[in-house]
Amino acid sequence: MLDVAILGLGTVGSGVLEVIEKNSDAISQSAAQEIRVKHILARRDYPGAPYEKLVTKDFSVIENDPDVRVVVETIGGIDAAYEYTKRSLLKGKSVVTANKELVATHGYELMQLARENGVNYLFEASVGGGIPIIRPLSQCLAANKIKEIYGILNGTTNYILTEMIKNGLSFETALKDAQEKGYAEANPDADVKGFDVCRKICILSALSFGRHVYPHQVKTEGIESVTLADIGFAGKLGCRVKLLGRAIHREDGKIAVYVAPHLVHDDNLIASVEGVMNGIIVRGNAIGDVMFYGAGAGKLPTASAVVADVIDAAKHISARKWLSWEDGADEIIYDSALLENSWYVRTTAKKEEIAAGFGDVQLIEGEGEKIFVTPSMNRYDLEDKLGGMSVSAAFRILQ
């Protein structure tokens, strides 16, 4: 029997409880022992709930219970989650989490702490919701040098963009829908402004390239600037608008990482990733391109990945899983604005102004606006050529 404590009973925490109850036979079989939830840390009481008696408001009850070998941290955010994770690891308990903010900010330090205390810090659910990606990257693709990793890493924004594309829904209605379905973060700004993708691409970069990438090192744009007009024009160009996180390992050893809306060509598999689904492409030097696809958010898909880590922690209770990377540094980061590609530009500028900056580019005319596609160039050159033009949108185009 393995005793587990769950910290936090929000969407993911309650999903973990549900999955452990619902699939107890299969879980016990995989873990080769029964997994029992012994404590739940929550801010309020749950009178009448079947787990009422497991609930405590005092973390030290969990910290000081030697039976608890695995702690599931589903509090989210940094403050309490960081403190309780450290205290659990120091007490020789493995910690399993879906908390991408904590892993992206303190992952290196927490993995070190886990190693020093002979336990594991596992976070499969932190990226891609229910999609297996952390384990495949750290184990199955370990024979490759990863050259690039990119994809749709946020279910909420992909849901919003898909609803805008397919059903012409407004941004606000689609966001409300995503919130009601339990996809969005507690503060949906983290989804809409791209911070959630930023945290996830930091984790994927660290796993792929072996050095911690911190969120403040990643240029991050969200989807607030995307309008129905852009979605319509993108369609005319054979593309779809997608929010991508992208990380490239350059030949010189530096890492370029950024988050931004892109026009993705219909031929790219990522273009057909719709709704709450996430899609991640990993480019390895031996395997070529591999794509991971599945439910990127939601209670049970995320809980599925958390519980898989609990099982793994149970099976490795006195062994360490190989999961680590080195600390990061500003010197290893390449300025992503120097990456070159074609750009989609929507502007109210006159034809002559556009021609002066970009030559003979083909123009599509909308209501008082024009759109055009630039030749391949970096962001600085683009801004230089745009000069004083009034620009409503400028997005990278991914073939």
Interface with ligand HSE includes 101 (CB under 6 A)?
Answer: no
Query: How many CB atoms neighbour CB 150 within 10 A?
Result: 23
Q: Does 357 bind ligand HSE (CB under 6 A)?
A: no
Q: Which of 297, 306, 394, 398 contacts ligand HSE by CB under 6 A? A: 297
Nearest residue (CB) to ligand HSE, 65 versus 189: 189
Q: Which stretch binds ligand HSE (CB under 6 A): 22-30, 150-158, 216-224, 287-295?
A: 150-158
- φ, ψ (nearest 5 deg) of residue 148: -155, 150
Report in angstroms how near the CB of residue 183 gets to ligand HSE at its nearest.
Answer: 4
Using left for φ > 0, alpha for ψ between -120 and 50, and beta otherwise, residue 253 falls in left
Burial of 47 (C-beta count, 10 Å sphere; 0-12/13-18/19+): exposed
d(CA 39, CA 59): 10
> Is 370 among the residues known to form the active site?
no
Residues 6+ apart with CB under 8 A from 21: none
DSSP state of 329: -
Q: In what order do the strands lie in the sheet with 94-97?
A: 55-56, 35-41, 2-7, 68-73, 94-97, 121-122
The reply to whether 184 sits near ligand HSE by the rule CB under 6 A is yes
Interface segment toward ligand HSE; rule CB under 6 A; list 183-191, 241-249, 360-368, 389-397: 183-191
Per CB under 6 A, 183 contacts ligand HSE: yes
Instruction: Please tell me the count of residues contacting ligand HSE according to CB under 6 A.
Output: 11
Give min distance, CB of 155 to ligand HSE, in A.
4
DSSP 235-267: HHTTEEEEEEEEEEE-TTS-EEEEEEEEEEETT
Q: Which of 73, 163, 185, 312 binds ligand HSE (CB under 6 A)?
A: 185
In the bound state with ligand HSE, the residue whose beta carbon lies nearer, of 201 and 397, is 201
Shortest distance, position 228 Cβ to ligand HSE, whole Å: 21
Give dist(CA 214, CA 195) in Å, integer: 12
Which one of the listed residues 200, 242, 321, 385 is annotated catalytic? 200
Strand 255-265 versus strand 219-220 pairing type? parallel
Q: Counting contacts by CB under 6 A, is residue 11 touching ligand HSE? A: no
Which residue number, 124 or 191, has a Cβ lying nearer to ligand HSE?
191
CA Rg value for the chain: 23
Q: Where are the beta strands (DSSP E) in the chain?
A: 2-7, 35-41, 55-56, 68-73, 94-97, 121-122, 146-152, 219-220, 239-249, 255-265, 277-284, 288-295, 343-347, 364-365, 370-373, 391-398
Q: CB-wise, 76 or 357, nearer to ligand HSE?
A: 76
Under rule CB under 6 A, residue 131 binds ligand HSE: no
Measured from the CB atom, the residue of 147 and 299 that comes closer to ligand HSE is 299
Among the listed residues 245, 296, 328, 357, the single contact to ligand HSE using CB under 6 A:
296
Output the smallest distance, CB 52 to ligand HSE, in A: 28
- Is position 312 an interface residue for ligand HSE (rule: CB under 6 A)? no
Residue 148: name the closest of 223, 215, 222, 201 by CA: 201
Based on the shown chain and the rule CB under 6 A, indicate whether residue 129 belongs to the binding site for ligand HSE.
yes
Residue 205 within binding range of ligand HSE, rule CB under 6 A: no
Binds ligand HSE (CB under 6 A): choice among 74, 105, 156, 205: 156
Region binding ligand HSE by CB under 6 A among candidate stretches 49-57, 179-187, 224-232, 384-392 = 179-187
Work out the number of other CB atoms within 10 angstroms of the CB of residue 252.
7
Is the sign of the CA dihedral 106, 112, 113, 118 positive or negative?
positive
Binding site for ligand HSE (CB under 6 A): 129, 154-156, 183-185, 191, 196, 296-297
Which residues participate in catalysis according to the annotation?
A: 200
